[in-house]
Amino acid sequence: MAKLNIVLFEPEIPSNTGNIGRTCAATDSRLHLIEPLGFKLNEKAIQRAGMDYWKELDVVRYINYQDFLDKNPGAKIYMATTKGKNVYTDVSYEPDCYIMFGKESGGIPEEILAHHRADCIRIPMAGESRSLNLANSVAIVLYEALRQNAFSHMKLEGSLTKFDDYIE
């Protein structure tokens, strides 16, 4: 089964990574972490943000960006960046593509972006806003990719538990 892949390039804030891990677990997406990390994966902030979802998470770690490339040859990678020319809703996400997000303090380095210009995507923002929160950005783009793939393998409806017999 194809999985969407979220890649965090050198994330710095444990609660963001915890929230992103929870989102990945809830969407059956794989999380890729490119070191160095600005925290240890056993920090309480990650556990609080990820809650009990962290144990269900499909997560892969890499010692650096080159290690990531070496272990994922030929991967289709979209680079989420404020420097992108394409709006995130204007691309077609493959069911097994990789969507990379940069570290909170500086994004994805320009030397990496330069090799992926056509695949740089951005979330529109008003005025001179620098960027959105990393966890929010991941959720926005990931759910667009999931929508484009018809929310494959996801539960599409819920039900009331206390009022199942209630009729309008």
Angle formed at CA 92 by CA 157 and CA 23, multiple of 5 degrees: 45
In a domain, 17, yes or no: yes
* Residue span of the structural domain in which 55 resides: 5-148
In a domain, 116, yes or no: yes
pLDDT in tens, 101-147: 999 999 999 999 999 999 999 999 998 888 899 999 999 999 999 99
In a domain, 50, yes or no: yes
- Would you state the torsion angle of the CA atoms of residues 143, 110, 133, 48, taken in this order, to the nearest 10 degrees? 90
20 is in an annotated binding site: no
Work out the average pLDDT over 71-79.
97
pLDDT for 160 equals: 82
The tokens describing 131, both together, are 């960027």
Q: How many domains does the chain have?
A: 1
pLDDT for 81 equals: 97
In a domain, 21, yes or no: yes
Cα distances from 22 to residues 13, 47, 79, 112, 120, in angstroms, run 15, 10, 21, 27, 25
**pTM score, whole prediction:** 0.89
In a domain, 164, yes or no: no
158 is in an annotated binding site: no
In 3D space, the residue among 61, 52, 9 whose CA is nearest the CA of residue 30 turns out to be: 61
38 is in an annotated binding site: no
